[in-house]
Structure 1
Protein backbone atom coordinates (compact mmCIF):
# COMPACT_ATOMS: atom_id res chain seq x y z
CA UNK A 1 0.00 0.00 0.00
CA UNK A 2 0.98 3.57 -0.67
CA UNK A 3 0.38 6.20 1.94
CA UNK A 4 -0.76 9.57 0.60
CA UNK A 5 1.29 12.33 2.16
CA UNK A 6 -0.63 14.92 4.18
CA UNK A 7 -0.96 18.37 2.58
CA UNK A 8 1.20 21.10 3.89
CA UNK A 9 -0.11 24.34 5.37
CA UNK A 10 0.57 26.16 2.10
CA UNK A 11 -1.53 23.64 0.16
CA UNK A 12 -4.63 24.16 2.36
CA UNK A 13 -7.27 26.76 1.11
CA UNK A 14 -7.18 30.13 2.79
CA UNK A 15 -9.98 31.50 4.95
CA UNK A 16 -10.97 33.95 2.19
CA UNK A 17 -11.39 31.11 -0.29
CA UNK A 18 -13.48 29.14 2.19
CA UNK A 19 -15.78 32.12 2.84
CA UNK A 20 -16.19 32.77 -0.89
CA UNK A 21 -16.96 29.11 -1.56
CA UNK A 22 -19.50 29.10 1.29
CA UNK A 23 -21.23 32.22 -0.07
CA UNK A 24 -21.34 30.74 -3.57
CA UNK A 25 -22.83 27.53 -2.22
CA UNK A 26 -25.50 29.48 -0.28
CA UNK A 27 -26.44 31.51 -3.38
CA UNK A 28 -26.65 28.39 -5.53
CA UNK A 29 -28.82 26.67 -2.94
CA UNK A 30 -31.10 29.71 -2.66
CA UNK A 31 -31.40 29.89 -6.44
CA UNK A 32 -32.33 26.23 -6.66
CA UNK A 33 -34.85 26.70 -3.84
CA UNK A 34 -36.59 29.59 -5.61
CA UNK A 35 -36.43 28.29 -9.18
CA UNK A 36 -36.77 24.50 -8.65
CA UNK A 37 -37.88 23.38 -5.20
CA UNK A 38 -40.63 25.93 -4.48
CA UNK A 39 -42.30 25.68 -7.92
CA UNK A 40 -42.16 21.89 -8.12
CA UNK A 41 -43.24 21.18 -4.50
CA UNK A 42 -45.50 24.09 -3.53
CA UNK A 43 -46.44 25.69 -6.89
CA UNK A 44 -44.83 28.95 -5.71
CA UNK A 45 -42.99 30.61 -8.58
CA UNK A 46 -41.76 34.12 -7.66
CA UNK A 47 -39.36 34.34 -10.62
CA UNK A 48 -41.50 32.75 -13.36
CA UNK A 49 -38.69 30.36 -14.27
CA UNK A 50 -40.55 27.41 -12.76
CA UNK A 51 -43.53 27.81 -15.10
CA UNK A 52 -41.19 28.16 -18.07
CA UNK A 53 -39.49 24.88 -17.07
CA UNK A 54 -42.80 23.14 -16.34
CA UNK A 55 -42.03 22.80 -12.60
CA UNK A 56 -44.87 25.04 -11.39
CA UNK A 57 -47.43 22.86 -13.20
CA UNK A 58 -45.91 19.88 -11.41
CA UNK A 59 -46.37 21.57 -8.04
CA UNK A 60 -49.98 22.52 -8.86
CA UNK A 61 -50.71 18.92 -9.80
CA UNK A 62 -49.24 17.71 -6.48
CA UNK A 63 -51.43 20.12 -4.53
CA UNK A 64 -54.56 19.03 -6.42
CA UNK A 65 -53.78 15.36 -5.78
CA UNK A 66 -53.20 16.05 -2.09
CA UNK A 67 -56.53 17.90 -1.81
CA UNK A 68 -58.35 15.05 -3.52
CA UNK A 69 -56.73 12.53 -1.17
CA UNK A 70 -57.88 14.53 1.87
CA UNK A 71 -61.39 14.75 0.45
CA UNK A 72 -61.51 10.97 -0.09
CA UNK A 73 -60.28 10.31 3.44
CA UNK A 74 -62.89 12.56 5.09
CA UNK A 75 -65.91 10.66 6.59
CA UNK A 76 -69.18 11.18 4.70
CA UNK A 77 -71.49 13.78 6.19
CA UNK A 78 -75.06 12.67 6.99
CA UNK A 79 -77.61 14.29 4.76
CA UNK A 80 -79.76 16.83 6.58
CA UNK A 81 -83.42 15.88 6.61
CA UNK A 82 -85.63 18.45 5.03
CA UNK A 83 -88.85 19.12 6.95
CA UNK A 84 -92.02 18.70 4.98
CA UNK A 85 -93.14 22.03 3.56
CA UNK A 86 -96.14 23.60 5.20
CA UNK A 87 -99.26 23.66 3.03
CA UNK A 88 -99.58 26.88 1.10
CA UNK A 89 -102.51 29.08 2.11
CA UNK A 90 -105.41 29.14 -0.27
CA UNK A 91 -105.18 32.07 -2.68
CA UNK A 92 -107.51 34.94 -2.02
CA UNK A 93 -110.27 35.34 -4.59
CA UNK A 94 -109.31 37.73 -7.35
CA UNK A 95 -111.63 40.62 -8.14
CA UNK A 96 -111.68 41.39 -11.82
CA UNK A 97 -110.94 45.01 -12.55
CA UNK A 98 -112.68 46.49 -15.54
CA UNK A 99 -110.54 49.02 -17.36
CA UNK A 100 -112.43 51.81 -19.09
CA UNK A 101 -112.14 51.69 -22.85
CA UNK A 102 -110.56 54.86 -24.16
CA UNK A 103 -112.30 56.46 -27.06
CA UNK A 104 -110.13 56.69 -30.17
CA UNK A 105 -108.96 60.20 -30.85
CA UNK A 106 -109.78 61.22 -34.37
CA UNK A 107 -106.88 62.75 -36.28
CA UNK A 108 -108.01 66.07 -37.71
CA UNK A 109 -107.89 66.26 -41.47
CA UNK A 110 -105.52 68.85 -42.94
CA UNK A 111 -107.11 72.22 -43.63
CA UNK A 112 -106.95 72.79 -47.37
CA UNK A 113 -107.24 76.28 -48.76
CA UNK A 114 -108.24 77.38 -52.25
CA UNK A 115 -107.61 80.85 -53.62
CA UNK A 116 -107.83 82.63 -56.97
CA UNK A 117 -105.83 85.81 -57.56
CA UNK A 118 -104.88 88.15 -60.41
CA UNK A 119 -102.02 90.56 -60.87
CA UNK A 120 -101.32 92.94 -63.77
CA UNK A 121 -97.79 93.63 -65.00
CA UNK A 122 -96.89 96.76 -66.95
CA UNK A 123 -94.15 96.52 -69.60
CA UNK A 124 -90.86 95.71 -67.87
CA UNK A 125 -92.54 95.29 -64.46
CA UNK A 126 -92.08 92.34 -62.10
CA UNK A 127 -94.40 91.21 -59.30
CA UNK A 128 -94.84 88.21 -57.05
CA UNK A 129 -97.47 86.34 -55.02
CA UNK A 130 -96.39 84.31 -52.02
CA UNK A 131 -98.08 81.75 -49.76
CA UNK A 132 -97.10 81.07 -46.15
CA UNK A 133 -96.39 77.32 -46.09
CA UNK A 134 -94.94 75.11 -43.36
CA UNK A 135 -92.27 72.49 -44.01
CA UNK A 136 -93.61 69.29 -45.60
CA UNK A 137 -96.91 70.81 -46.76
CA UNK A 138 -97.89 70.56 -50.44
CA UNK A 139 -99.51 73.19 -52.67
CA UNK A 140 -101.01 72.69 -56.15
CA UNK A 141 -101.23 75.64 -58.53
CA UNK A 142 -102.11 76.76 -62.04
CA UNK A 143 -101.63 80.17 -63.67
CA UNK A 144 -102.12 81.74 -67.08
CA UNK A 145 -100.85 84.98 -68.64
CA UNK A 146 -103.24 87.07 -70.77
CA UNK A 147 -101.65 89.71 -73.02
CA UNK A 148 -98.32 88.01 -73.72
CA UNK A 149 -95.69 85.61 -72.39
CA UNK A 150 -93.73 86.25 -69.18
CA UNK A 151 -90.60 85.08 -67.40
CA UNK A 152 -91.29 83.36 -64.09
CA UNK A 153 -89.70 81.54 -61.18
CA UNK A 154 -91.33 79.44 -58.44
CA UNK A 155 -89.26 79.72 -55.26
CA UNK A 156 -89.34 79.87 -51.44
CA UNK A 157 -87.65 81.90 -48.71
CA UNK A 158 -87.36 80.67 -45.09
CA UNK A 159 -88.54 82.73 -42.14
CA UNK A 160 -85.62 84.74 -40.71
CA UNK A 161 -83.34 83.36 -43.43
CA UNK A 162 -80.13 84.97 -44.61
CA UNK A 163 -80.61 87.98 -46.82
CA UNK A 164 -80.76 86.97 -50.46
CA UNK A 165 -81.18 83.23 -49.78
CA UNK A 166 -84.00 81.38 -51.57
CA UNK A 167 -84.78 77.91 -52.94
CA UNK A 168 -85.98 77.59 -56.55
CA UNK A 169 -88.62 74.99 -57.42
CA UNK A 170 -88.57 75.84 -61.15
CA UNK A 171 -88.34 78.68 -63.68
CA UNK A 172 -88.73 79.40 -67.39
CA UNK A 173 -88.74 82.25 -69.94
CA UNK A 174 -91.43 83.54 -72.29
CA UNK A 175 -94.26 81.20 -71.31
CA UNK A 176 -98.00 81.89 -71.12
CA UNK A 177 -99.01 79.34 -68.48
CA UNK A 178 -97.75 76.81 -65.98
CA UNK A 179 -99.21 74.33 -63.49
CA UNK A 180 -97.95 71.76 -60.98
CA UNK A 181 -97.26 71.42 -57.26
CA UNK A 182 -94.44 71.83 -54.77
CA UNK A 183 -93.71 70.61 -51.23
CA UNK A 184 -92.17 73.18 -48.90
CA UNK A 185 -88.67 72.23 -47.74
CA UNK A 186 -88.77 74.73 -44.84
CA UNK A 187 -91.18 77.01 -42.99
CA UNK A 188 -91.49 80.26 -44.91
CA UNK A 189 -93.03 82.06 -47.87
CA UNK A 190 -93.29 80.13 -51.13
CA UNK A 191 -94.68 81.36 -54.44
CA UNK A 192 -94.13 82.92 -57.84
CA UNK A 193 -92.34 85.86 -59.40
CA UNK A 194 -93.29 87.08 -62.88
CA UNK A 195 -91.67 89.72 -65.11
CA UNK A 196 -93.24 91.21 -68.21
CA UNK A 197 -90.64 91.75 -70.96
CA UNK A 198 -93.23 92.74 -73.58
CA UNK A 199 -94.36 96.25 -74.56
CA UNK A 200 -97.95 95.79 -73.34
CA UNK A 201 -99.75 94.97 -70.09
CA UNK A 202 -100.03 91.32 -69.06
CA UNK A 203 -102.53 89.96 -66.51
CA UNK A 204 -101.66 86.85 -64.49
CA UNK A 205 -104.53 84.67 -63.18
CA UNK A 206 -103.40 82.26 -60.40
CA UNK A 207 -105.33 79.42 -58.73
CA UNK A 208 -103.89 77.70 -55.65
CA UNK A 209 -105.04 74.74 -53.52
CA UNK A 210 -103.29 73.07 -50.62
CA UNK A 211 -102.29 73.12 -46.95
CA UNK A 212 -100.98 76.66 -46.46
CA UNK A 213 -101.55 79.37 -43.88
CA UNK A 214 -102.40 82.32 -46.07
CA UNK A 215 -101.58 84.54 -49.06
CA UNK A 216 -98.92 87.25 -48.98
CA UNK A 217 -98.56 89.73 -51.87
Structure 2
Protein backbone atom coordinates (compact mmCIF):
# COMPACT_ATOMS: atom_id res chain seq x y z
CA UNK A 1 0.00 0.00 0.00
CA UNK A 2 1.44 3.36 -1.05
CA UNK A 3 1.73 6.33 1.28
CA UNK A 4 -1.01 8.20 -0.59
CA UNK A 5 -3.32 5.19 -0.30
CA UNK A 6 -2.69 5.07 3.47
CA UNK A 7 -3.46 8.78 3.81
CA UNK A 8 -6.71 8.43 1.86
CA UNK A 9 -7.74 5.38 3.91
CA UNK A 10 -7.03 7.21 7.18
CA UNK A 11 -9.06 10.22 6.04
CA UNK A 12 -12.00 8.06 5.03
CA UNK A 13 -11.85 6.16 8.33
CA UNK A 14 -11.71 9.38 10.32
CA UNK A 15 -14.66 10.82 8.43
CA UNK A 16 -16.69 7.69 9.04
CA UNK A 17 -15.88 7.83 12.76
CA UNK A 18 -16.95 11.46 12.87
CA UNK A 19 -20.31 10.78 11.18
CA UNK A 20 -21.15 7.48 12.91
CA UNK A 21 -19.86 8.10 16.47
CA UNK A 22 -18.62 11.59 17.34
CA UNK A 23 -21.49 13.67 15.92
CA UNK A 24 -24.24 11.55 17.55
CA UNK A 25 -22.44 11.21 20.91
CA UNK A 26 -21.22 14.79 21.27
CA UNK A 27 -23.84 16.85 19.44
CA UNK A 28 -26.88 14.58 18.94
CA UNK A 29 -26.49 14.79 15.14
CA UNK A 30 -27.18 11.38 13.59
CA UNK A 31 -27.22 11.50 9.76
CA UNK A 32 -26.90 7.69 9.35
CA UNK A 33 -29.26 6.58 12.12
CA UNK A 34 -26.59 4.27 13.52
CA UNK A 35 -25.94 6.60 16.44
CA UNK A 36 -29.46 6.11 17.74
CA UNK A 37 -29.26 2.35 17.35
CA UNK A 38 -25.93 2.26 19.20
CA UNK A 39 -27.24 4.51 22.00
CA UNK A 40 -24.82 7.32 21.18
CA UNK A 41 -27.40 10.09 20.78
CA UNK A 42 -28.59 9.45 24.35
CA UNK A 43 -25.10 10.35 25.54
CA UNK A 44 -25.41 13.80 23.99
CA UNK A 45 -28.73 14.38 25.74
CA UNK A 46 -27.16 13.64 29.15
CA UNK A 47 -24.36 16.17 28.81
CA UNK A 48 -25.00 19.08 31.16
CA UNK A 49 -24.60 22.50 29.66
CA UNK A 50 -21.98 24.49 31.56
CA UNK A 51 -23.52 27.21 33.65
CA UNK A 52 -22.71 30.72 32.41
CA UNK A 53 -20.28 32.62 34.59
CA UNK A 54 -22.32 35.13 36.53
CA UNK A 55 -19.71 36.33 38.99
CA UNK A 56 -18.29 39.81 38.92
CA UNK A 57 -14.55 40.19 39.30
CA UNK A 58 -13.87 42.82 41.94
CA UNK A 59 -10.57 44.67 41.97
CA UNK A 60 -9.13 47.16 44.40
CA UNK A 61 -6.45 48.37 42.03
CA UNK A 62 -5.82 51.95 41.12
CA UNK A 63 -4.78 53.29 37.74
CA UNK A 64 -1.86 51.18 36.57
CA UNK A 65 1.48 52.95 36.32
CA UNK A 66 4.20 50.70 34.86
CA UNK A 67 6.90 53.16 35.98
CA UNK A 68 5.85 53.18 39.65
CA UNK A 69 8.52 52.09 42.12
CA UNK A 70 5.88 50.60 44.44
CA UNK A 71 2.36 49.29 43.82
CA UNK A 72 0.35 49.68 47.00
CA UNK A 73 -2.84 48.03 45.85
CA UNK A 74 -3.43 44.69 44.13
CA UNK A 75 -6.16 42.16 43.49
CA UNK A 76 -8.06 41.67 46.76
CA UNK A 77 -6.94 38.65 48.71
CA UNK A 78 -3.88 37.74 46.66
CA UNK A 79 -1.27 39.84 48.42
CA UNK A 80 -1.05 41.60 51.75
CA UNK A 81 1.98 43.83 51.93
CA UNK A 82 3.91 44.33 55.14
CA UNK A 83 6.49 46.92 56.18
CA UNK A 84 8.98 44.39 57.53
CA UNK A 85 10.28 40.91 56.68
CA UNK A 86 8.41 37.95 58.14
CA UNK A 87 9.55 36.28 61.36
CA UNK A 88 10.67 32.69 61.54
CA UNK A 89 11.03 30.81 64.82
CA UNK A 90 11.34 27.32 66.23
CA UNK A 91 9.71 27.02 69.66
CA UNK A 92 10.25 23.91 71.75
CA UNK A 93 7.48 23.43 74.30
CA UNK A 94 8.16 21.06 77.17
CA UNK A 95 4.99 19.51 78.58
CA UNK A 96 5.10 17.57 81.82
CA UNK A 97 3.38 14.26 82.48
CA UNK A 98 -0.34 15.09 82.92
CA UNK A 99 0.55 18.58 81.69
CA UNK A 100 -1.26 21.10 79.50
CA UNK A 101 -0.13 24.37 77.95
CA UNK A 102 -1.44 27.21 75.81
CA UNK A 103 0.86 29.24 73.56
CA UNK A 104 -0.61 32.25 71.73
CA UNK A 105 0.43 34.69 69.01
CA UNK A 106 -0.83 38.26 69.17
CA UNK A 107 -1.80 39.13 65.59
CA UNK A 108 -3.56 41.95 63.74
CA UNK A 109 -6.42 40.94 61.47
CA UNK A 110 -5.49 39.52 58.04
CA UNK A 111 -1.91 38.66 59.00
CA UNK A 112 -0.70 35.16 58.20
CA UNK A 113 1.73 32.53 59.35
CA UNK A 114 2.58 29.02 58.21
CA UNK A 115 3.21 26.47 60.92
CA UNK A 116 4.24 22.93 61.65
CA UNK A 117 4.25 21.24 65.03
CA UNK A 118 5.22 17.72 66.05
CA UNK A 119 5.66 15.70 69.22
CA UNK A 120 9.35 14.78 69.09
CA UNK A 121 9.35 11.74 71.37
CA UNK A 122 5.83 10.38 70.88
CA UNK A 123 5.26 6.70 71.61
CA UNK A 124 1.47 6.84 71.77
CA UNK A 125 -1.30 9.28 70.87
CA UNK A 126 0.80 12.42 71.31
CA UNK A 127 -1.33 15.35 72.43
CA UNK A 128 -4.87 16.62 72.45
CA UNK A 129 -4.68 19.94 70.58
CA UNK A 130 -6.99 22.88 70.13
CA UNK A 131 -6.02 25.67 67.73
CA UNK A 132 -8.24 28.68 68.45
CA UNK A 133 -8.37 32.44 68.89
CA UNK A 134 -10.10 35.15 70.86
CA UNK A 135 -9.96 38.96 71.02
CA UNK A 136 -7.93 40.89 73.55
CA UNK A 137 -9.58 42.25 76.67
CA UNK A 138 -9.55 45.75 75.14
CA UNK A 139 -11.47 44.51 72.08
CA UNK A 140 -13.75 42.03 73.85
CA UNK A 141 -16.64 44.52 74.04
CA UNK A 142 -16.86 44.45 70.23
CA UNK A 143 -17.67 40.72 70.25
CA UNK A 144 -20.31 38.48 71.87
CA UNK A 145 -19.69 37.61 75.51
CA UNK A 146 -17.07 34.87 75.78
CA UNK A 147 -16.39 34.95 72.02
CA UNK A 148 -13.83 32.39 70.82
CA UNK A 149 -13.24 30.87 67.39
CA UNK A 150 -11.95 27.30 66.95
CA UNK A 151 -9.78 26.52 63.91
CA UNK A 152 -8.74 22.90 64.52
CA UNK A 153 -8.88 20.33 67.30
CA UNK A 154 -8.19 16.67 67.77
CA UNK A 155 -5.53 14.22 68.86
CA UNK A 156 -2.25 13.44 67.14
CA UNK A 157 1.49 13.76 66.96
CA UNK A 158 1.82 16.45 64.25
CA UNK A 159 -0.03 19.07 62.25
CA UNK A 160 1.01 21.40 59.42
CA UNK A 161 -0.77 24.29 57.77
CA UNK A 162 -1.22 28.00 57.26
CA UNK A 163 -3.37 30.47 59.15
CA UNK A 164 -4.73 33.97 58.52
CA UNK A 165 -6.14 35.80 61.52
CA UNK A 166 -9.86 36.55 60.93
CA UNK A 167 -9.83 39.24 63.64
CA UNK A 168 -7.18 40.97 65.78
CA UNK A 169 -6.30 39.22 69.00
CA UNK A 170 -4.74 36.09 70.44
CA UNK A 171 -4.42 33.05 68.20
CA UNK A 172 -2.59 29.86 68.99
CA UNK A 173 -2.36 26.38 70.35
CA UNK A 174 -3.51 24.48 73.42
CA UNK A 175 -1.75 21.15 73.98
CA UNK A 176 -2.60 18.47 76.55
CA UNK A 177 -0.10 15.68 77.03
CA UNK A 178 -1.81 12.30 76.55
CA UNK A 179 1.42 10.34 76.45
CA UNK A 180 2.92 8.53 79.43
CA UNK A 181 5.71 10.76 80.72
CA UNK A 182 6.93 14.23 79.69
CA UNK A 183 7.07 15.24 76.02
CA UNK A 184 8.43 18.01 73.79
CA UNK A 185 6.35 19.72 71.11
CA UNK A 186 8.43 21.47 68.47
CA UNK A 187 6.53 24.33 66.83
CA UNK A 188 8.05 25.86 63.69
CA UNK A 189 6.33 29.03 62.50
CA UNK A 190 7.03 31.70 59.88
CA UNK A 191 4.97 34.79 59.20
CA UNK A 192 3.69 37.88 60.96
CA UNK A 193 2.73 38.52 64.56
CA UNK A 194 3.35 41.20 67.15
CA UNK A 195 4.54 38.85 69.89
CA UNK A 196 3.98 35.35 71.21
CA UNK A 197 4.08 33.84 74.68
CA UNK A 198 2.99 31.05 76.96
CA UNK A 199 -0.45 31.97 78.25
CA UNK A 200 -1.34 29.00 80.43
CA UNK A 201 0.30 25.94 81.96
CA UNK A 202 -1.04 23.34 84.37
CA UNK A 203 0.07 19.95 85.70
CA UNK A 204 -2.51 17.51 87.04
CA UNK A 205 -5.00 20.37 87.08
CA UNK A 206 -2.77 22.65 89.15
CA UNK A 207 -2.30 25.98 87.35
CA UNK A 208 1.33 27.09 87.14
CA UNK A 209 1.03 29.89 84.56
CA UNK A 210 -2.01 32.01 83.73
CA UNK A 211 -1.44 35.25 81.78
CA UNK A 212 -4.18 37.83 81.46
CA UNK A 213 -5.04 38.89 77.93
What TM-score does the superposition give when structure 1 sets the normalisation length? Answer: 0.48
Larger radius of gyration: 1
TM-score (norm 2): 0.49
Higher helix share goes to which structure?
A: 1
